[in-house]
């Protein structure tokens, strides 16, 4: 099961979601973490991330990355939004994150932020086939998206985030009336212009996301019921209630706001501008209520990852072992005949297991033989005539994940000697191996040469092999049909096997009657 950690470095907060990607193209959230670092405090005035904000963010990110990796979430995707993308020292911050945590942060544009938010909403709310308006209020920006159940139709990113508006307009609380009026006029103008550019003028619904919208809804619910919201997702906010809360926040000091039931103390200064934006948006669109969605950019990143990495996720599900998965991925990229490669690998392992008392190699070498067998024909992609040599160079330069450099060289050598010349000190790649590895390559190559020959026609005529070792190495091929071509090829490729073990190799065959009967009945 694929595991993904998503970190959202916002202007106001840093969030992390730990998710397991499920086989049915869904996901399960294992855990969530949030720290309100206020990275963007003052940024939209000074155009710089403050030293204090950077220090808080770096400490939080170190903790989150360590936590994710300790829980087995080695794949971590991080995105940063408006505060980082607008700050003159945003690049320095991203570099510091990489240096101190090893985390590569992707700084996304406002439109990409909107796309990811809509993706999260689209997969969490039963949207109509008619266009809905989605609004996300962040610390630095407000994203407006128009879309239906099929697709996002329009997106805009406005510089109306709550922290930005606080920095620009709200230096005091309670807010002086002229200051509040200036902010309201600014917000209304920006929203009106954004809605004018959208071809869609009528919306089926208005959907709000983000923690600020959720906190406003919780306060309103507490006022009417005395209880907190049991679930933010799909809760509704009435416009009249939102206007009443905006008025209360505007005339209250910060100290007074802290006594409001349900208000998050860390949002004490940002809820007023958030309420202003939502109120003006409902007013301009003519809607008397807003539906909430508790999914946004982090969930959008998860769905985006699933779409972009569907093939790899399926491979991880089907082939959990990272080494085998990477070998199969390389074989597929090189368009090798997978049926032949896997059948040869199976025959090679049968030979390995049945003469183990002679060669004395272990599980590690057995794996190398299997992987070399899977990859032995990948050189065909370059040139069929010299494909054994090309196989060596492709494998040796493939940077296979999960393998050491020495292992890759051994696997490449084994694949190289599956045909034609035998290992010799005249070949530089073989000569540079340590003495023990030279012996390993000779043994594994000898087995692979015979296994490949036993599927000479690529029709899996030789189903299995039975081996007896005495004065000779007697290999009986259990076949499902005419195997003369396979036996002829195997005899011509047995030279290295005879040389390695100092015994003649004899081949015979027997018919697999049961397999033949099954084939006829099918």
pLDDT digits (tens, 9 = 90+) for 441-480: 999 999 999 999 999 999 999 999 999 999 999 999 999 9
488 and 427 together in one domain: yes
Residue with tokens 């501008």: 273
Name which of 373, 365, 361, 364 is nearest 327 in CA terms: 373
Cβ(302)–Cβ(27) below 8 Å:
yes
Instruction: Domain count for the chain, please give it.
Output: 3
> pLDDT digits over 323-371, tens only?
888 899 899 889 999 999 999 999 999 999 999 999 999 999 999 999 9
Question: Is residue 120 assigned to a domain?
Answer: no
Per-residue pLDDT at 521 exceeds 60: no
162 and 104 together in one domain: no
Domain endpoint, select from 310, 343, 375: 310
Averaged pLDDT of the chain = 93
Question: Is residue 517 assigned to a domain?
Answer: yes
Cα 418 from Cα 449, distance rounded (Å): 5
| Residue 24 pLDDT grade (very low, low, confident, very high; cuts 50, 70, 90) | low
339 and 288 together in one domain: no
CATH of the domain at 511: 1.10.3210.10
Question: Is residue 118 assigned to a domain?
Answer: no
Question: Is residue 95 assigned to a domain?
Answer: yes
14 and 129 together in one domain: no
Per-residue pLDDT at 308 exceeds 90: no
Residues 6+ positions from 366 with CB-CB distance below 8 Å? 349, 352, 353
Dihedral angle over CA of 273, 274, 278, 284, nearest 10: 30
Cβ(474)–Cβ(491) below 8 Å:
no
Token pair belonging to 69: 């990796």
Token pair belonging to 446: 């000898």
199 and 333 together in one domain: no
89 and 51 together in one domain: yes
Residues 6+ positions from 517 with CB-CB distance below 8 Å? none
Q: What is the model's pLDDT at position 50?
A: 96
> pLDDT digits over 372-395, tens only?
999 999 999 999 989 999 999 999
406 and 367 together in one domain: yes
**Helix-then-strand count for the chain, H and E:** 24, 14
135 and 89 together in one domain: no
| Residue 519 pLDDT grade (very low, low, confident, very high; cuts 50, 70, 90) | low
Mean pLDDT of 127-140: 96
Mean pLDDT of 277-286: 98
Q: What is the model's pLDDT at position 219?
A: 97
Question: Is residue 119 assigned to a domain?
Answer: no
Q: What is the model's pLDDT at position 74?
A: 85
Domain that holds residue 70: 2-108+302-310
H helix intervals, 226-253? 239-250
94 and 176 together in one domain: no
Q: What is the model's pLDDT at position 520?
A: 55
Q: Which of 8-17, 86-95, 106-115, 401-410 has the lowest average pLDDT?
A: 401-410
153 and 282 together in one domain: yes
361 and 479 together in one domain: yes
> pLDDT digits over 169-191, tens only?
998 889 899 999 999 999 999 99
CATH of the domain at 40: 3.30.420.40
> pLDDT digits over 52-103, tens only?
999 999 999 999 999 999 999 989 999 999 999 999 999 999 999 999 999 9
Q: What is the model's pLDDT at position 175?
A: 86
306 and 329 together in one domain: no
Per-residue pLDDT at 517 exceeds 70: no
Per-residue pLDDT at 127 exceeds 90: yes
What pTM was computed for the model? Answer: 0.69
- DSSP single-letter state for residue 265: G
Question: Is residue 137 assigned to a domain?
Answer: yes
Mean pLDDT of 274-280: 98
Sign, CA dihedral 80-81-83-88, equals positive
How many angstroms separate the Cα of 452 from the Cα of each of 66, 309, 341, 493, 519?
Answer: 47, 33, 9, 9, 23
Per-residue pLDDT at 321 exceeds 90: no
Question: Is residue 117 assigned to a domain?
Answer: no
CATH of the domain at 166: 3.30.420.150
Domain endpoint, select from 260, 279, 310: 310
Q: What is the model's pLDDT at position 1?
A: 65
Cβ(319)–Cβ(325) below 8 Å:
yes
Per-residue pLDDT at 316 exceeds 80: no
């Amino acid at each position: 099961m694929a595991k993904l950690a998503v970190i959202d470095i916002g202007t106001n907060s840093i969030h992390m979601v730990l998710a397991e990607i499920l086989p049915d193209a869904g996901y399960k959230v294992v855990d969530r973490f949030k720290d309100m670092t206020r990275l963007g405090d003052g940024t939209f005035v000074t155009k710089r991330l403050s030293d204090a904000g950077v220090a808080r963010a770096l400490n939080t990110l170190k903790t989150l990355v360590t936590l994710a990796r300790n829980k087995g979430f080695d794949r971590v995707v991080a995105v940063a939004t408006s505060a980082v993308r607008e700050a003159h020292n945003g690049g320095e911050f991203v570099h510091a994150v990489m240096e101190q945590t090893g985390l590569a942060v992707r700084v996304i544009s406002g439109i990409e932020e909107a796309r990811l938010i809509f993706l999260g909403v689209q997969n969490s709310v039963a949207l109509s086939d008619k266009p809905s308006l989605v609004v996300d209020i962040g610390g630095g920006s407000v994203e407006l998206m128009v879309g239906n159940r099929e697709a996002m139709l329009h997106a805009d990113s406005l510089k109306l985030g709550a922290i930005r508006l606080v920095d620009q307009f709200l230096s005091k609380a309670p807010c002086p009336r002229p200051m509040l009026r200036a902010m309201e006029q600014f917000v209304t103008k920006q929203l009106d212009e954004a809605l004018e550019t959208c071809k869609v003028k009528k919306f089926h619904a208005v959907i709000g996301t983000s923690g600020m919208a959720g906190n406003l809804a919780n306060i309103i619910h507490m006022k009417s019921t005395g209880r907190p919201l049991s679930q933010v997702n799909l809760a509704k906010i009435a416009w009249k209630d939102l206007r009443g809360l905006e008025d209360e926040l505007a005339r209250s000091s910060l100290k007074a706001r802290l006594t409001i039931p349900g208000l998050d103390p860390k949002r004490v200064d940002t809820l007023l501008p958030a309420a202003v934006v939502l109120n003006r948006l409902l007013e301009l669109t003519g809607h008397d209520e807003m539906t909430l969605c508790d999914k946004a950019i982090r969930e959008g990143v998860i769905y985006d990852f699933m779409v972009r990495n569907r093939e790899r996720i399926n491979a991880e599900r089907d082939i959990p072992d990272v080494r085998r998965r990477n070998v199969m991925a390389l074989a597929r990229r090189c368009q090798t005949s997978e049926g032949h490669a896997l059948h040869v690998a199976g025959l090679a392992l049968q030979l390995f297991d049945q003469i183990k008392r002679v060669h004395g190699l272990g599980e590690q070498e057995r794996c190398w033989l299997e992987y070399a067998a899977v990859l032995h024909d990948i050189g065909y992609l370059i040139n069929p005539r010299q494909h054994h040599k090309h196989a060596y160079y492709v494998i040796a330069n493939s940077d296979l994940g999960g393998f050491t450099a020495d292992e890759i060289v051994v696997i490449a050598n084994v694949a190289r000697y599956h045909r034609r010349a035998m290992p010799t000190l005249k070949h530089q790649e073989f000569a540079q191996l340590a003495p023990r590895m030279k012996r390993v390559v000779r043994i594994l190559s000898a087995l692979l040469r015979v296994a490949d020959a036993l599927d000479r026609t690529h029709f899996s005529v030789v189903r299995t092999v039975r081996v007896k070792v005495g004065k000779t190495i007697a290999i009986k091929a259990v076949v499902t049909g005419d195997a003369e071509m396979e036996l002829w090829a195997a005899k011509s490729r047995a030279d290295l096997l005879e040389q390695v073990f100092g015994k003649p190799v004899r081949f015979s065959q027997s018919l697999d009657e049961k397999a033949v009967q099954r084939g006829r009945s099918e």
